[in-house]
């Protein structure tokens, strides 16, 4: 306590001490003594000075003295009263000066003091006004030392001169003196339980005084507000593009689309202000297309930023993404990531294309029409179509871009079109006018119906007759009715019927060529589809014939969108007029960029008729079923009938075991015919599956084409190894040496071949069953004659001096020249050439089944068929001239058809001229068909004649054929009785060869009538064998199909000399057997 009193005494005496020190006395006898002065540090703005003049330390009146007073160096003033007062002094240091001038001398004195009227205050500053931390640093700066009253202190939360209001409190332990009595620093803790709020930090009141006694006073800077916010900072990326609602796969989705360039604006709205500038925000935006330019709009305190989208194409799906990692809010919280915004800008008007599956013509009363827009449209319905020449029967919406309509034709010409500005896309663009679709309606021409009925009926009758005759012949052969079965009983009718079927198939498949065929020919070819076969399956119905497929291209398919997504507008968003309405409240997930591209960008506008399934165009599997179902049914039924008949025949054979002959029903002879006929059908069904692109379809199609390729390769190997290399088969011919021909016979031989008698034989096996089994591949073709039989000479066939020329080799055969072998090798591949051509036709028919025009199919087939015709004329592959002629006519008619197809592609015809071309094409078909039909019936006639023992009665042959059919139905216990009494088992079959004279025929008939069992040609051979053999040195015969130069003429193998008659007699049996086989095989 005493110490405090001493401090106060020292404090009050200090001014007087200083006063004495600051009074300057001069050496004059006069002096000034201040009686009253302000404090050295005063808080008063006024001051009063009272002084006296002294002389020699005594008060001196000095009546005649001049006393001047001056404050702060200003102008002096009289102060004779020795009392001066000053008011409104400004804060700061002041100096008062008094000067006395009298007779006794001059004396001056001065006094210095400081005026301080401003109370002390403090400036409170927070390290940040916005934060998300738990603590914030507060800096306190006093305006002057404020030590009176204890000064600033903060010993605890409750005894602290820094007050905190809000969710926070001071942390006393963090108090730090930066500058004594002037600067302090401490932390204020922010509540962790509050996510956001504010804290007010303010200084206490009157807690200290300065040196002049002014009490501490708060100022506007004596407080600070701290905002804390620990919530996530969000940003909203908005556009000015209208939003619409669409129903996608039964889900409502939001679509942003516009065709207005002014709407291409985007805005970023932050939940709190951010510290970044507009340029920094722009650098964080990444558009997929175009450029972004900042706008000059209000930022709302750095919470809103606007940008313009520029430099994009007329149709664009724009995705704008925002990288918020570099964006910081004013609290220091990073901005949360947001999903990109995608919108569609489309200023292109939707175009529309009308197409039909009828190739601009149809025989049906109902015309199917496909209406395909380049992109989805809204508000399109049946009333948007303009139809003339017919009326609308049905209307179906497949998707928002594809529609179908059925138009019922009332006139010959039906016209359909879509006017412009009828409908619009999602962006608001109105449609362009469509093309005008004109479809010609026609009735099936009578000539097409007559021709197709005639062809179908005659083929059915011919096939039935050939089948019954084949079954009858097999039945008779199994019972031993023929002592030596002839190959002509087996091969000729079957091969001819097979070639007729192939010829019909070619014309039926030509319907699928990418050519607009004349109506007369098109309907005729369509009526022959049973030969492929290509027919509607039983489970097809009329209502199911038109189904839309592949409504979205492959590029629209992706993992996020199933292919069967249905695009449409929400029913709640459709007005009564069908127009799209903008939603008042937008809801539903926005579309992804891939969905925008899938459903709204321009699609392929090419009118693809494969979208509709009808009799001309269907999806891959239905096309496949139309081919393969009927192919399986027909082939399966025929094979079952074959197996049943063969079982019955073989069962009957048990009662006649001594006869083990093989006929036309030998397995797999009939099956080989069926396989060759089914190759085009399999190819036609497989190619659409591969083109469809579906995994299962591609696998099935590739497997089937692989089977076809394997069969063709097997055929090539069989012909190459078995025949060309002579591993399995060999071919022999008989050549008549020295025979003379008329000029017209020479022309025939050059054109149709020499017509030599030839015989195929299985190597090292006599009468092998394999000849019958695999006969369809080679039996009517001329092969490479590795050995040529010893030749029969004689210019006049009527003379009895004919002789057989013997050769020197041990087989009694003469080896053929090299050129004949080469030509024979080429001829044998005719079967492969024909198969490859028909397989190619099937592939082309499947690949070009779409209604488009193309030269490629017709050109490919024309080249292959022309080469085949050239091969026929040059190589003459057939043994018989009759078959050669028929095949030339058939192939020539096919060449004509394919040539006309190319002409139709190049030239436009009027309706009348087109009808004439169609009739001409029908006549071309008829030429080849009639020739083949006549050849088949002639073969059936010859086969029937061979069933007669006397070979001169067709009626008797028919009776014998009837007996053969009845043998299948006769009970087993009656077969032996019939076998013993059957008249045919005593004689063979056959016919007289071309080298036998008419006189020999009469003698043979006479010998048969006299009871002999020898056949006429057999008796002739015996007479020739008994005749004398003359030696003739001659080269190998010339083949008309080869060069006529002597270079190509070869000699017989072995010695050029011939053997004597005695040498020949030692080995006549081999030659006799070969000749017998050849002559009996015709």
Phi, psi values for residue 827, rounded to 5°? -65, -35
Report residue 627 as tokens.
Answer: 């081919």
C-alpha to C-alpha distance for 737 and 754, rounded to whole angstroms? 13
**C-alpha–C-alpha distance, residues 477 and 784, integer Å:** 31
How are strands ordered across the β-sheet holding 135-142? 122-126, 135-142, 183-190, 168-179
pTM assigned to the model: 0.61
What's the pLDDT tens digit per position in 39-70?
888 888 888 888 888 876 677 777 778 888 99
Q: Shortest CA distance to 473 belongs to which of 824, 967, 929?
A: 967
Do residues 673 and 831 lie in contact, with contact meaning Cβ atoms separated by under 8 Å?
Answer: no
Q: Under DSSP, is residue 709 helix (H, G, I), strand (E, B) or coil?
A: helix
Q: What is the pLDDT of residue 707?
A: 93
Report the Cα 991 to chain-centroid distance in Å. Answer: 64
H or E element, residue 982 = none
Instruction: Output 69-73 pairs: Cβ under 8 A, ≥24 positions apart.
Output: 69/96, 69/97, 69/98, 70/96, 70/97, 70/98, 70/99, 71/95, 71/96, 71/97
Query: What's the angle, vertex CA 967, arms to CA 963 and CA 972, rounded to 5?
Result: 150
In whole angstroms, give the CA distance from residue 1003 to residue 998: 9
Beta bridge partners of 316: 345
The per-residue pLDDT for 960 is: 80
Four-point Cα dihedral 687, 688, 692, 696, nearest 10? -70
Q: What residues pair up with 58 in beta bridges, in sequence order?
A: 55
Q: Is 84 left (phi over 0), alpha (psi -120 to 50) or beta?
A: beta
Closest CA to 962 of 481, 476, 472: 472
Q: Is residue 841 within 8 Å of residue 680, measured between CB atoms?
A: yes
Q: Catalogue the E-assigned strands of 652-798.
A: 729-734, 736-737, 757-762, 787-789, 792-793
Q: Which of 254, 244, 437, 423 is nearest to 349 (CA)?
A: 423
Those residues of the chain that have pLDDT short of 70 are 1-28, 56-57, 358-359, 479-492, 541-587, 601-619, 651-664, 734-746, 750, 753, 755, 765-768, 785-824, 849-852, 949-952, 971-1082
List, in order of start, the domains of the chain with CATH numbers.
Answer: 23-115 (2.60.40.10), 122-229 (2.60.40), 352-445+541-569+591-611 (no CATH), 729-818+983-1028+1050-1080 (no CATH)
Going by DSSP bridges, is the β-strand pair 589-590/251-258 parallel, antiparallel, or unpaired? parallel
Among residues 471, 472, 470, 507, the alpha carbon closest in space to that of 490 is found at 470
pLDDT of residue 726: 78
Beta bridge partners of 346: 315
Half-sphere exposure of 267 (CA within 13 A, CB side): 15
Distances (CA, A) of 255 to 234, 246, 248, 322, 565: 23, 7, 11, 20, 16
- Show Cβ contacts of residue 383 under 8 Å, excluding neighbours closer than 6 positions: none
Going from the C-alpha of 247 to that of each of 254, 580, 606, 1032, the distances in angstroms are 9, 12, 27, 98
Helices (H), 995-1060: 998-1009, 1016-1026
d(CA 780, CA 884): 10
Give alpha helix (H) positions in 479-548: 491-509, 519-527
Interval 177-205: pLDDT, tens = 999 989 999 999 999 899 999 999 999 99
Supply the pLDDT for residue 785.
Answer: 67
The DSSP symbol for 781 reads B
Closest to 344 (Cα-Cα) out of 277, 428, 235? 428
Nearest Cα residue to 208 out of 121, 114, 91 = 121
Query: Phi and psi dihedrals of 621, rounded to 5?
Result: -70, -35
Residue 749's nearest CA partner among 732, 735, 730, 761 is 735
* Gap between the Cα atoms of 981 and 508, Å rounded: 50
92 phi and psi angles, rounded to 5 deg: 140, -170
């Amino acid at each position: 306590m005493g110490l405090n009193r001493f401090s106060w005494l020292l404090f009050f005496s200090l001014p007087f001490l200083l006063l004495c020190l600051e009074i300057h006395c001069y050496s004059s006898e006069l002096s000034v003594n201040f009686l009253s002065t302000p404090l050295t540090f005063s808080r008063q703005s006024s001051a009063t000075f009272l002084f006296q003049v002294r002389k020699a330390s005594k008060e001196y009146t000095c009546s005649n003295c001049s006393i001047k007073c001056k404050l702060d160096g200003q102008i002096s003033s009289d102060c004779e009263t020795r009392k001066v007062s000053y008011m409104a002094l400004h804060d700061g240091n002041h100096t008062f000066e008094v000067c006395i001038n009298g007779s006794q001398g001059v004396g001056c004195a001065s006094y210095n003091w400081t005026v301080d009227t401003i109370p002390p205050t403090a400036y409170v500053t927070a390290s940040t006004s916005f934060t998300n931390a738990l603590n914030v640093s507060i800096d306190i700066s006093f305006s002057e030392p404020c030590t009176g009253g204890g000064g600033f202190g903060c010993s605890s939360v409750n005894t602290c001169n820094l007050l905190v209001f809000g969710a926070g409190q001071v942390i006393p332990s963090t108090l730090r003196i930066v500058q004594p009595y002037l600067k302090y620093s401490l932390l204020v803790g922010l509540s962790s339980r509050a996510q956001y709020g504010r804290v007010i930090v303010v200084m206490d009141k009157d807690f200290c005084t300065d040196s002049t006694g002014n009490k501490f006073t708060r100022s506007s800077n004596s407080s600070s507000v701290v905002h804390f916010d620990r919530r996530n900072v969000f940003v909203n990326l908005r556009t000015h593009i209208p939003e619409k609602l669409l129903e996608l796969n039964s889900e409502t989705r939001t679509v942003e689309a516009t065709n207005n360039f002014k709407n291409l604006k985007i805005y970023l709205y932050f939940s709190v202000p951010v510290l970044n500038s507009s340029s920094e925000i722009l650098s964080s935006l990444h558009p997929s297309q175009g450029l972004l330019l900042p706008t000059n709009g209000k930022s709302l305190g750095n919470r809103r930023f606007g940008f313009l989208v520029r430099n994009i194409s007329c149709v664009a799906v724009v995705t704008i993404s925002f990288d918020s990692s570099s964006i910081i809010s004013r609290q220091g919280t990073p901005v949360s990531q947001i999903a990109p915004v995608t919108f569609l800008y489309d200023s292109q008007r939707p175009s529309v294309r009308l197409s039909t599956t009828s190739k601009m013509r149809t025989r049906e009363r109902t015309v199917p029409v496909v209406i395909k827009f380049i992109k989805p449209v809204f508000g399109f319905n049946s009333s948007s179509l303009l139809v003339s020449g017919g009326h609308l029967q049905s209307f179906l919406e497949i998707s928002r871009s594809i529609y179908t309509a059925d138009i019922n034709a009332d006139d010959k010409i039906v016209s359909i079109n879509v006017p412009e500005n009828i409908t619009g896309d999602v962006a608001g663009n109105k449609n362009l006018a469509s093309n005008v679709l004109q479809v010609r309606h026609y009735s099936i021409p009578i000539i097409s119906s007559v021709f197709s009925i005639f062809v179908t009926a005659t083929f059915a009758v011919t096939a039935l007759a050939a089948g019954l005759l084949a079954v009858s012949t097999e039945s008779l052969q199994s019972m031993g009715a023929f002592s030596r079965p002839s190959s002509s009983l087996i091969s000729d009718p079957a091969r001819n019927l097979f070639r007729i079927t192939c010829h019909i198939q070619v014309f039926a498949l030509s319907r699928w060529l990418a050519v607009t065929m004349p109506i007369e020919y098109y309907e005729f070819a369509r009526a022959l589809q049973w030969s492929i076969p290509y027919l509607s399956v039983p489970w097809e119905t009329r209502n199911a014939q038109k189904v839309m497929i592949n409504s979205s291209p492959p590029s629209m398919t992706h993992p996020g969108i199933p292919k069967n997504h249905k695009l449409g507008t929400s029913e709640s968003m459709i007005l009564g007029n069908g127009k799209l309405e903008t939603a008042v409240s937008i809801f539903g997930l926005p579309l992804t960029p891939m969905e925008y591209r899938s459903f709204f960008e321009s699609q392929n506008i090419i009118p693809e008729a494969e979208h509709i399934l009808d009799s001309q165009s269907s999806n891959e599997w239905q096309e496949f079923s139309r081919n393969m179902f009927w192919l399986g049914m027909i082939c399966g039924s025929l094979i079952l009938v074959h197996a049943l008949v063969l079982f019955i025949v073989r069962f009957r054979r048990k009662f006649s075991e001594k006869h083990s002959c093989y006929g036309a029903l030998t397995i797999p002879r009939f099956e080989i015919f069926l396989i060759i006929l089914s190759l085009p059908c399999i190819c036609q069904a497989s190619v659409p599956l591969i083109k469809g692109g579906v995994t299962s379809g591609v696998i099935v199609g590739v497997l089937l084409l692989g089977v076809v390729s394997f069969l063709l390769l097997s055929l090539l190997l069989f012909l190459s190894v078995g025949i060309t290399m002579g591993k399995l088969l060999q071919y022999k011919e008989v050549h008549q040496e020295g025979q003379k021909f008329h000029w017209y016979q020479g022309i025939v031989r050059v054109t149709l071949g020499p017509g030599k008698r030839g015989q195929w034989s299985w190597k090292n096996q006599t009468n092998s069953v394999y000849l019958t089994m695999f006969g369809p591949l080679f039996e009517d073709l001329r092969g490479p004659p590795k050995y040529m039989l010893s030749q029969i000479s004689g210019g006049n066939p009527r003379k009895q001096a004919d002789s057989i020329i013997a050769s020197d080799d041990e087989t009694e055969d003469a080896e053929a020249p090299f050129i004949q072998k080469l030509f024979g090798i080429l001829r044998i591949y005719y079967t492969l050439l024909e198969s490859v051509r028909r397989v190619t036709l099937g592939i082309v028919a499947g690949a070009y089944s779409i209604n488009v025009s193309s030269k490629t199919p017709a050109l490919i087939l024309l080249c292959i068929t022309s080469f085949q015709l050239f091969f026929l004329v040059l190589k003459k592959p057939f043994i018989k001239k009759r078959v050669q002629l028929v095949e030339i006519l058939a192939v020539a008619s096919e060449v004509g058809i394919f040539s006309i197809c190319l002409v139709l592609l190049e030239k436009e015809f009027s309706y009348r001229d087109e009808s004439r071309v169609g009739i001409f094409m029908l006549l071309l078909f008829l030429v080849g068909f009639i020739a083949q039909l006549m050849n088949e019936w002639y073969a059936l006639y010859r086969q029937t004649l061979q069933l007669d023992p006397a070979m001169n009665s067709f009626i008797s042959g028919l009776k014998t054929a009837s007996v053969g059919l009845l043998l299948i139905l006769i009970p087993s216990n009656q077969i032996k009785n019939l076998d013993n009494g059957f008249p045919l088992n005593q004689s063979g079959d056959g016919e007289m060869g071309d080298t036998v004279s008419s006189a020999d025929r009469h003698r043979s008939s006479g010998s048969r009538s006299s009871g002999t069992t020898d056949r006429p040609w057999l008796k002739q051979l015996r007479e020739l064998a008994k005749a004398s053999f003359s030696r003739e040195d001659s080269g190998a015969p010339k083949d008309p199909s080869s060069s006529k130069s002597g270079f190509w003429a070869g000699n017989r193998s072995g010695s050029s000399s011939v053997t004597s008659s005695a040498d020949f007699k030692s080995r006549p049996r081999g030659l006799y057997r070969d000749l017998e086989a050849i002559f009996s095989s015709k």
